Amino acid sequence: MKVYAIIPSGGTGKRINTPLPKQYIKFSGKELIAYTLEIFQKNTNVNKIVIPAQKEYFNLLNGIIDKYKLNKVSKIVEGGKDRQHSVQNALESIDAKDDDLIIVHDAVRPLLPPSILNNAIETAKIYGNVIVAIKAKDTLIKGSDTVTEYIDRNEIYYVQTPQIFPCKNLRKAFDNAKKEGFIGTDESMLVTKAGFSVKIVEGSSINFKVTDKSDIELLHKILN
């Protein structure tokens, strides 16, 4: 069994209004995506890394790969019009067997603890489909300008990445989504929609996704 990591890197940076997409912004002299890639480079369970990205950033990515000696990166592939198509492009580009494990992890989650990654991989070897998520801690409400409903948080989780699936399950999920014209927010949604159960592995609040300017400020403070 081989373990492949797909790191989608197609974000454009529109939310933060910067010249470069946030995954290429430097923190303490190192590009954000380099921190993320190093997690998988150093993990002994991971065999190969594939990066779907916009073509105009291929040269930048190749420079990062060379600079930090990320020799597990086997290829960079052109991303699609959205995350789902980007990950599917990456999956179709590799010669993975049915039972090989496919990890999908956001390029902009650079602080994934190695212990959580290892736990997710080991759990996937037993149960197949796995997502990393953190249990809701705060009071949850529903409403627009005013509160209309309080939501029971006991069975509510915030989904993170990595998400891990046997290759055959992920391929089936993508095929089903394509036939139905369905676009999901992440791979676990597609896999669940295809009829598979997905095991939850406890995540960490430090494994946050760098999405807006406040996240960028927080990451600068942590890495400094």
- Distance between CA atoms of 91 and 83, rounded to whole angstroms? 12
CB atoms within 10 A of CB 48: 18
CB 48 within 8 A of CB 97: no
Question: Could you tell me the strand order of the sheet in which 199-202 lies?
Answer: 73-78, 48-53, 3-6, 101-104, 157-166, 130-135, 199-202
Verdict on whether the full-model pTM lies above 0.85 = yes
What domain range is 141 assigned to? 3-223
Percent of the chain with pLDDT over 70: 96
In terms of Cα–Cα distance, which of 64, 66, 67, 91 is closest to 7?
91
CATH of the domain at 83: 3.90.550.10
Residue 155 is given by DSSP the state G
Task: Please calculate the CA angle 26-31-36 and round it to the nearest 5 degrees.
Answer: 135
What are the backbone dihedrals phi and psi of residue 105, each rounded to the nearest 5 degrees, phi first?
-140, 135
Q: What is the pLDDT along the chain (224 residues), one digit of tens a residue?
A: 999 999 999 866 565 567 789 999 999 999 999 999 999 999 999 999 999 999 999 999 999 999 999 999 999 999 999 999 999 999 999 999 999 999 999 999 999 999 999 999 999 999 999 999 999 999 999 999 999 999 999 989 999 999 999 999 999 999 999 999 999 999 999 999 999 999 999 999 999 999 999 999 999 999 98
Number of domains comprising the chain: 1
Give per-residue pLDDT as tens, 109-141.
Answer: 999 999 999 999 999 999 999 999 999 999 999
Q: What is the pLDDT of residue 43?
A: 98
